[in-house]
Amino acid sequence: MAHGRRHSIAFHSACVEGREGSWGGVYFWFLIVSTLLAAIGGAVGVRSLRHGHRSRATVFWMGGAFLAQLGFLAVRGEARGACPLIGLGEILVFLAWSLTLIYLLVGPTYRLSLLGLFSAPVVVLFQGMALIPGVLERDPQRVVATNAWREMHSAMSVLGYGALGLAAVSSVMFLVLDRQLKEHHLNSGLFRNLPPVRELLVSGRRLLWLGWLMLTVGVVAGFRMPHEGSAGAHLIAAVVVWAAYAALVGISQFRGLTGRKFSLLTVLLFVVSLSVFAFV
């Protein structure tokens, strides 16, 4: 039995090595292209703002970045034989993909101008971190035994984080606009092009609900999946994050929160919640 398992691992390693021959480095190129496209999208947006108007092209640059992210995930997924969510590098790219996906769905739907401009730096940051040597596993090993609950836990959690990340981006936009309105600094291109206060708050709340619901599914799936020895700390951190988001969603929905407190908490919670991945 043990011999058979060793044989199986050796076989999969050989498969991966075989793929490395044809696929080796391709995912890095996808990642570099995606990061560059997102950076260009952000830069184009900033340049347009300096000229007093918003760039309509940012959404297309972000669309290009999304396609390149898909290319990366497809190649890594092929190599893994599973959802590519193993190790910090893949998680960071999956997070960036999830944030871009939700931006592409939400931005045009709610006509939230400048959401792309504010999302692009987060995507560049996540993917830039993944590109740091050593963060992304160069030789992705094929996953021998996959489990539906594990796959659902990983995918739903990261998708949820994408929505929560975008809620944080929308909250940063609110905080900028709120400060400008409070201090009567109303002449910048940024002010003229930011969406109205109420729309930012409504979209932030909806994204928070969406992210929290997906996180709920992810956490439930996390309890159902088979556990290894080191999973305890990760699950505890995930439950704490889930509970904190539940409190924020509940309080803002039923008691009400000022826009500033809601936004500060959304940004803070997102930054703190990323620590969950330290326990992966």
Partner 1 sequence: MELVCLGLNHRSAPVEVRERFAVPPVRLGEKARELAEAQGIEEGVVLSTCNRTEFYLAGPSGDEMIASLRRVVDTGASDHWYEMRRLDAARHLCRVAGGLDSMVLGETEIFGQVKDAYRRAHAAGATSGVLNRLFQRAFGIGKKIRTETSIQEGATSVAGTAVELAEKIFGKLKGCRVIVIGAGEMSRQTAKALVSRGATSVFVTNRSFERAESLAEEMGGRAVRYDDWQATLAGVDVVISSTSAPHPVVKPFHVEAVRRVRKFRPLFLIDIAVPRDIDPEVGEIEEVYLYDIDTLEQLAAEARGRRERQIEDCARIIDEELEKLNLPGT
Which residues here bind partner 1, judged by CB under 8 A? 52, 177, 181-182, 184, 186-187, 191-192, 195-199, 201, 255-261
Q: What is the 3-state secondary structure (H, E, C) of the chain?
A: CHHHHHHHHHHHHHHHHHHHHHHCCHHHHHHHHHHHHHHHHHHHHHHHHHCCCCCCCHHHHHHHHHHHHHHHHHHHHHHHCCCCCCHHHHHHHHHHHHHHHHHHHHHHHHCCCCHHHHHHHHHHHHHHHHHCCCCCCCCCCCCCCCCHHHHHHHHHHHHHHHHHHHHHHHHHHHHHHHHHHHHCCCCCHHHHHCCCHHHHHHHHHHHHHHHHHHHHHHHHHHHHCCCCCCHHHHHHHHHHHHHHHHHHHHHHHHHCCCHHHHHHHHHHHHHHHHHHHHHC
**Cα 86 to Cα 168: distance, rounded to the nearest angstrom:** 25
In the bound state with partner 1, the residue whose beta carbon lies nearer, of 3 and 184, is: 184
User: Which of 118/262 has CB closer to partner 1?
Assistant: 262
Question: Shortest distance, CB of residue 166 to partner 1, whole angstroms?
Answer: 19
Task: Supply the minimum distance, in Å, between the C-beta of residue 198 and partner 1.
Answer: 5
From the CB of 186, what's the least distance to partner 1, in Å? 6
Task: Work out the number of other CB atoms within 10 angstroms of the CB of residue 127.
Answer: 28
User: Smaller CB distance to partner 1: residue 188 or 216?
Assistant: 188
Smallest distance, Å, CB 184 to partner 1? Answer: 6
Write down the least CB distance from residue 258 to partner 1, Å: 4
229 or 256: whose CB is closer to partner 1? 256
The single-letter code of the amino acid at 223 is F
The nearest distance, CB 114 to partner 1, in angstroms, is: 13
Q: How far is the CB of 245 from partner 1 (least distance, A)?
A: 19
Q: Which is nearer to partner 1, 3 or 255 (CB)?
A: 255
Cβ nearer to partner 1, comparing 39 with 114:
114
Nearer to partner 1, 55 or 69 (CB): 55
